[in-house]
Chain A
Amino acid sequence: MAAGVAAWLPFARAAAIGWMPVANCPMPLAPTEKNKRQDELIILNVSGRRFQTWRTTLERYPDTLLGSTEKEFFFNEDTKEYFFDRDPEVFRCILNFYRTGKLHYPRYECISAYDEELAFYGILPEIIGDCCYEEYKDRKRENAERLMDDNDSENNQEGSMPSLSFRQTMWRAFENPHTSTLALVFYYVTGFFIAVSVITNVVETVPCGTVPGNKELPCGERYAVAFFCLDTACVMIFTVEYLLRLFAAPSRYRFIRSVMSIIDVVAIMPYYIGLVMTNNEDVSGAFVTLRVFRVFRIFKFSRHSQGLRILGYTLKSCASELGFLLFSLTMAIIIFATVMFYAEKGSSASKFTSIPASFWYTIVTMTTLGYGDMVPKTIAGKIFGSICSLSGVLVIALPVPVIVSNFSRIYHQNQRADKRRAQKKARLARIRVAKTGSSNAYLHSKRNGLLNEALELTGSTEDEQHMTKGTSLIESQHHHLLHCLEKTTGLSYLVDDPLLSVRTSTIKNHEFIDEQLFEQNCMESSMQNYPSSRSPSLSSHHGLTTSCCSRRNKKTTHLPNSSVPATRLRSMQELSTIHIQCSEQPSLTTSRSSLNMKSDDGLRPNCKTAQITTAIISIPTPPALTPEGESRPPPSSPGHSTNIATTTTSNIVKVSAL
């Protein structure tokens, strides 16, 4: 029942008294309202903006969030109001819905944001009022198309699909020539042969000098054999191509029905029919007609040209406009032809011999061609002729802008799709980097945990406190969660330094601890940088430390090793820890803000980070490596794995060209 109508229920019930004297039997008891509350104002605080309304207003729609008891979850006891941490602008529309019963869609609002809000408040978008429904549907469709484009391009660009059958690879090669060089070659070869075929068709008919018999022959007949050979070659290529496509197609039935396949067939059929048919007089007329179909080979170019495909798609989507154009033209032609015929009937030697004959005049005039082969001679004819040409301009001009705007829209959509694909690549790269960062952070904190245990043995508690201070609560909880997972499964994420997964520290000597302390300081200062804006403590411990921190400060992308002192050559472990250091610190800064940095700045050091991580993992102590192979954090793309073998201690930085 509509909102306001509920307010009329008392009236309807009161009016029921009118039935009472007519009734023959006693009435049922009226329902009593149990906790009859006085209508009260309730306050809805949406992100600081306060809205007030009557409770009964909200209760008009009991199957939404605000109308049901679900809103009690948002009740704030202290302020005695309902607090929603959502967008106040959209809430305005939603509250108006309760008040007026009509849901409006504000044009300035983003469609997906609006949809989300509606979903949150439990309101179906279908009840948007008629005034705004069209706009809403249009925007939604546009958005869906855009997303579909994204998905399509994403599917097309999926990296190495692990196991593609030969048939599938072939199909992919056909559809997207850039996937492999062979496909590209094939693409160009077919394109070339299409061009050759079209040109031969054209040149065939050019008169080509005379044969001693003084008859002007077209080239096709003069060099019949040559042309026949060319034609045969082209048709063979096309046939092979068609058969290969047919073989590779995932759904053969659908492929056969598709437009391109029909064009292919029509392009090569005349040749075969010509082969089969004998030089029969009756049939040769039909045969000549068939040769016309060879011109359809030019449509095969649409596989090679995006613009052509767009044009075809536009025409298809404007089918109704084109149909209207045709229909209105036909109507006008018939009308004017009739009129002209009767107008010119009187004049002698008039070319307007019949109405169909006048059709030609009308068409030529309406399209403003005006050949002049048929011209009205009577005054009436001239008058109607001029009216005809004026109206022709109008009738043709009307549907054309619609077609043009459709074409423009589809073309721009395509442009946008390309741009989005490029942006998406960059975005995915950044996401990958962030993932790397977070997994690095986890490994980092795990090392903290292990170091904590190491330190406990040495008893330096203050450093311990230093370490735990840095990470935020959410981070530490997340890391704890990952740690629990490791414990549950009995596997563990690959720690950078394999030696650290060994918990014994007593065996490790003073040197180890020194490194740890060392490391610790670096980590501490780099961790301090991450969550807060405190200035990094440029510890003056070592050249190594300063190189880390100074690198961070400069935000340059020079190789971390360049400033590393000779200490790195001391031991494998040290090397790895050093690299961990320098790899940690940029990754810690891949917070949201840094993702919005210039992408190249943000990307390059992080890519290098990834590189370095790989390199470290590759430093062998095999027992640590192999069992954890499958629990490796995802960010390393398959490309990395191929580079593991190529690392050496001295060339760690030059691992791979990612």
Chain B
Amino acid sequence: SDKIEDELEMTTVCHRPEGLEQLEAQTNFTKRELQVLYRGFKNECPSGVVNEETFKQIYAQFFPHGDASTYAHYLFNAFDTAQNGSVKFEDFVMALSILLRGTVHEKLRWTFNLYDINKDGYINKEEMMDIVKAIYDMMGKYTYPVLKEDAPRQHVEVFFQKMDKNKDGVVTLDEFIESCQEDDNIIRSLQLFENVM
């Protein structure tokens, strides 16, 4: 029981991010934007770190009709670069920097990392199925038209058709980037959220 208390004590200790200047240098945000981001972050997570539960709760608030927990789980893993179960402000802000202010290449690489659940450098069909199912879960049950049983599978097939150049059943990073760059829609949609901050 001593150990548990110690653990609790450790987790309640605040984590403080590195200085503002360092973060400014490492990311593509201005000081002011970092301030706004940190204020929101600290408000929700006074201890300075986000854990997966909070992630899921926050995401669930945005998608009340469906079940966003699976996708949030994958997202959390993508944010948690150190894979230690908690996302510090630096990780958070770095990821946001890539997503909002990064180059197309960086964004695509981040997305590949998201899809690659076991982080082995390849996306196979099962991983893609999980991702696509998670995205469909977020929609919830009450949709129009009603979600068909094999719609995720169809979706994955289409995806692999497009991405898997050498038809070996897995998608590598280069295949992914190359295929995405060929698709104008994708490139355009990547710029969609640039003015979010």
Bound together: yes
Report the minimal beta-carbon distance from B128 to chain A, rounded to whole angstroms.
Answer: 8
- Contact for B197 among A10, A15, A29, CB less than 8 A: A10
- Is there an interface contact between A38 and B32, defined as CB atoms closer than 8 Å? yes
- Is there an interface contact between A10 and B186, defined as CB atoms closer than 8 Å? no
- Contact for B62 among A9, A21, A23, A33, CB less than 8 A: A9
- Contact for B43 among A4, A14, A22, A38, CB less than 8 A: A4
Contacts A7-B40, A9-B62, A38-B32 given; indicate if A18 touches B196 (C-beta within 8 A): no
Q: How far is the CA of A22 from the CA of B108 in the complex (A)?
A: 12
Contacts A1-B61, A10-B197, A22-B131 given; indicate if A27 touches B44 (C-beta within 8 A): no
Chain B residues whose C-beta falls within 8 Å of the C-beta of A27 in the assembled complex: 185, 188-189, 192
Q: How far is the CA of A512 from the CA of B163 in the complex (A)?
A: 112
Looking across the interface, which residue of chain B has its beta carbon closest to that of A2?
Answer: B61
Q: How far is the CA of A38 from the CA of B114 in the complex (A)?
A: 33
- Residues in B72-97 with C-beta less than 8 Å from chain A: 75, 78, 92, 95-96
- Residues in A497-518 with C-beta less than 8 Å from chain B: none
- Residues in B131-190 with C-beta less than 8 Å from chain A: 131-132, 135, 155, 158-159, 163, 176, 180, 185-186, 188-190
Query: What is the 8 Å Cβ interface bit string for chain B, positions 36-61, against chain A (1 contact, 0 not)?
Result: 11011101100000000000001101
A637 within 8 A of B: no
B99 within 8 A of A: yes
- Residues in A1-33 with C-beta less than 8 Å from chain B: 1-2, 4-5, 7-27, 29-30, 32-33
Decide if the interface of chain B is mainly helix, strand, loop or mixed. Answer: helix
- Is there an interface contact between B196 and A13, defined as CB atoms closer than 8 Å? yes
Contacts A9-B62, A14-B196, A17-B107 given; indicate if A22 touches B159 (C-beta within 8 A): yes
- Is there an interface contact between B186 and A21, defined as CB atoms closer than 8 Å? yes
Report the minimal beta-carbon distance from B154 to chain A, rounded to whole angstroms.
Answer: 10
Q: How far is the CA of A219 from the CA of B84 in the complex (A)?
A: 95
Q: How far is the CA of A30 from the CA of B36 in the complex (A)?
A: 21
Chain B residues whose C-beta falls within 8 Å of the C-beta of A4 in the assembled complex: 40, 43-44
Give the total number of A-B pairs whose CB atoms are below 8 A apart: 96
Q: How far is the CA of A39 from the CA of B43 in the complex (A)?
A: 16
- Contact for A18 among B96, B114, B155, CB less than 8 A: B114
- Is there an interface contact between B192 and A14, defined as CB atoms closer than 8 Å? no
Looking across the interface, which residue of chain A has its beta carbon closest to that of B37?
Answer: A10
Contacts A4-B40, A21-B180, A33-B195 given; indicate if A11 touches B92 (C-beta within 8 A): yes
Chain A residues whose C-beta falls within 8 Å of the C-beta of B117 in the assembled complex: none
Chain A residues whose C-beta falls within 8 Å of the C-beta of B70 in the assembled complex: none
- Is there an interface contact between A10 and B196, defined as CB atoms closer than 8 Å? yes
- Is there an interface contact between A5 and B61, defined as CB atoms closer than 8 Å? yes
Report the minimal beta-carbon distance from B22 to chain A, rounded to whole angstroms.
Answer: 21
B111 within 8 A of A: yes
Chain A residues whose C-beta falls within 8 Å of the C-beta of B195 in the assembled complex: 30, 32-33
- Specify which of B61, B131, B180 lies most central, judged by the most chain A CB atoms within 10 Å of its CB: B61
Looking across the interface, which residue of chain B has its beta carbon closest to that of A24?
Answer: B158
Query: What is the 8 Å Cβ interface bit string for chain B, positions 100-132, against chain A (1 contact, 0 not)?
Result: 100000011011001100000000000000011
Chain A residues whose C-beta falls within 8 Å of the C-beta of B190 in the assembled complex: 17, 20
- Specify which of A4, A7, A17, A38 lies most central, judged by the most chain B CB atoms within 10 Å of its CB: A17
Report the minimal beta-carbon distance from B109 to chain A, rounded to whole angstroms.
Answer: 11
Looking across the interface, which residue of chain B has its beta carbon closest to that of A32?
Answer: B195
Looking across the interface, which residue of chain A has its beta carbon closest to that of B62?
Answer: A12
Chain A residues whose C-beta falls within 8 Å of the C-beta of B95 in the assembled complex: 14
- Is there an interface contact between B99 and A14, defined as CB atoms closer than 8 Å? yes
Looking across the interface, which residue of chain A has its beta carbon closest to that of B191?
Answer: A30
Report the minimal beta-carbon distance from A372 to chain B, rounded to whole angstroms.
Answer: 53
- Residues in B1-40 with C-beta less than 8 Å from chain A: 32, 36-37, 39-40
State how many residues of chain A have any CB contact under 8 Å with chain B.
Answer: 31
Chain B residues whose C-beta falls within 8 Å of the C-beta of A8 in the assembled complex: 40, 44, 58, 62
- Is there an interface contact between B44 and A7, defined as CB atoms closer than 8 Å? yes
Chain B residues whose C-beta falls within 8 Å of the C-beta of A12 in the assembled complex: 58-59, 62
Report the minimal beta-carbon distance from B129 to chain A, rounded to whole angstroms.
Answer: 11
Looking across the interface, which residue of chain A has its beta carbon closest to that of B60?
Answer: A5
- Contact for B111 among A5, A13, A20, A39, CB less than 8 A: A20
- Residues in A480-499 with C-beta less than 8 Å from chain B: none
Chain B residues whose C-beta falls within 8 Å of the C-beta of A14 in the assembled complex: 95-96, 99-100, 193, 196
Report the minimal beta-carbon distance from A2 to chain B, rounded to whole angstroms.
Answer: 7
Looking across the interface, which residue of chain A has its beta carbon closest to that of B132?
Answer: A22
Chain A residues whose C-beta falls within 8 Å of the C-beta of B107 in the assembled complex: 17
Report the minimal beta-carbon distance from A60 to chain B, rounded to whole angstroms.
Answer: 11
Q: How far is the CA of A5 from the CA of B64 in the complex (A)?
A: 13
Chain B residues whose C-beta falls within 8 Å of the C-beta of A20 in the assembled complex: 111, 186, 189-190, 192
Chain A residues whose C-beta falls within 8 Å of the C-beta of B131 in the assembled complex: 22
Chain A residues whose C-beta falls within 8 Å of the C-beta of B75 in the assembled complex: 15, 18
Report the minimal beta-carbon distance from A315 to chain B, rounded to whole angstroms.
Answer: 48
- Contact for A17 among B32, B41, B111, B155, CB less than 8 A: B111
Report the minimal beta-carbon distance from B139 to chain A, rounded to whole angstroms.
Answer: 11
- Is there an interface contact between B155 and A22, defined as CB atoms closer than 8 Å? yes
Looking across the interface, which residue of chain A has its beta carbon closest to that of B108?
Answer: A21
Chain A residues whose C-beta falls within 8 Å of the C-beta of B110 in the assembled complex: 17
- Is there an interface contact between B193 and A13, defined as CB atoms closer than 8 Å? yes
Looking across the interface, which residue of chain A has its beta carbon closest to that of B54?
Answer: A8
Chain A residues whose C-beta falls within 8 Å of the C-beta of B185 in the assembled complex: 23, 25-27
Q: How far is the CA of A12 from the CA of B44 in the complex (A)?
A: 14
Chain A residues whose C-beta falls within 8 Å of the C-beta of B189 in the assembled complex: 20, 23, 26-27
- Is there an interface contact between A30 and B192, defined as CB atoms closer than 8 Å? yes
Looking across the interface, which residue of chain B has its beta carbon closest to that of A1?
Answer: B61
Q: 14 more A-B contacts (CB under 8 A) besides A4-B40, A17-B99, A22-B135?
A: A5-B44, A7-B40, A8-B44, A12-B59, A13-B193, A14-B95, A14-B99, A17-B193, A18-B78, A20-B190, A21-B176, A26-B188, A26-B189, A30-B195
Sample 14 A-B pairs with CB under 8 A, ordered by A number: A8-B58, A8-B62, A9-B62, A13-B193, A14-B95, A15-B75, A17-B99, A17-B107, A18-B114, A22-B135, A23-B186, A24-B158, A25-B185, A30-B192
Q: Which 6 A-B pairs have the closest CB atoms?
A: A7-B40, A14-B99, A27-B189, A20-B189, A4-B44, A10-B196
